[in-house]
Amino acid sequence: AQTVTQSQPEMSVQEAETVTLSCTYDTSESDYYLFWYKQPPSRQMILVIRQEAYKQQNATENRFSVNFQKAAKSFSLKISDSQLGDAAMYFCAHTPYRGSQGNLIFGKGTKLSVKP
């Protein structure tokens, strides 16, 4: 069964500091995609970053970057220069390249607090 595990239910970071959210997944597929979504109190699900498993280079989007370790099935999210607006639930998600029909499998989320 395909699963996504986020082992940190809650995290806290000081404004302007760096924080890393962990995610591990389990799949038997060789080609797949990984995502981090952010859900602020407004409940909107916002894509933060996307990684294609066949790409060895880690994805980066401004202050957000990932550490993708395919062999270890690990996909952590690093937020640099944390801002108050980064406070939200962060969900790691996974979908196989083929056969999943777009079925995103989500982890249970990490609640990130940012302290001023």
Using rule CB under 8 A, residue 32 touches another protein? yes
Using rule CB under 8 A, residue 82 touches another protein? no
Nearer to another protein, 63 or 108 (CB): 108
* DSSP SS3 for 48: strand
Report the nearest approach of another protein to the CB of residue 87 (Å). 15
Report the nearest approach of another protein to the CB of residue 115 (Å). 22
In this structure, what DSSP letter does residue 53 have?
T
Q: Which of positions 85-104 make contact with another protein (CB under 8 A)? A: 89, 91, 95-104
Using rule CB under 8 A, residue 8 touches another protein? no
Cα dihedral across residues 63, 36, 107, 69: positive or negative: negative
How far is Cα 89 from Cα 99, in angstroms, rounded to an integer? 28
Report the nearest approach of another protein to the CB of residue 16 (Å). 27
As a dihedral over the C-alpha atoms of residue 60, residue 66, residue 72, residue 74, rounded to 10 degrees, the angle is: -130
- Longest CA–CA separation in the chain, Å: 44
Pairing assessment for the beta strands 32-39 and 46-52 based on DSSP bridges: antiparallel
Using rule CB under 8 A, residue 110 touches another protein? no
Residues lying near another protein in the complex (CB under 8 A): 32-33, 35, 37, 39, 42-47, 50, 52, 89, 91, 95-104, 106, 108-109
